[in-house]
Amino acid sequence: MATTAKRVKDAKKPKFKSRQHNRCQICGRPRAFLRKFGVCRLCFRGLALKGEIPGVVKSSW
């Protein structure tokens, strides 16, 4: 999703702390980031379906 240039730019330490932006560790997506897991909602859903995140189960009713 994110270009290599944007990933590298966000990896550098910003001049001011408020300029820091969280990115998904897998795809680099800047939005819908889950701090607890360090991934975006799309990657989180995929990992949860595969059972790779301990303690997370897909709900169905």
The 3-state DSSP composition of the chain as helix, strand, coil percent (nearest 5) reads 35, 5, 60
Task: With CA atoms as reference, report the closest residue to 20 among 11, 31, 33.
Answer: 11
- Which residues fall in the annotated binding site for Zn(2+)? 24, 27, 40, 43
- Which residues fall in the annotated binding site? 24, 27, 40, 43
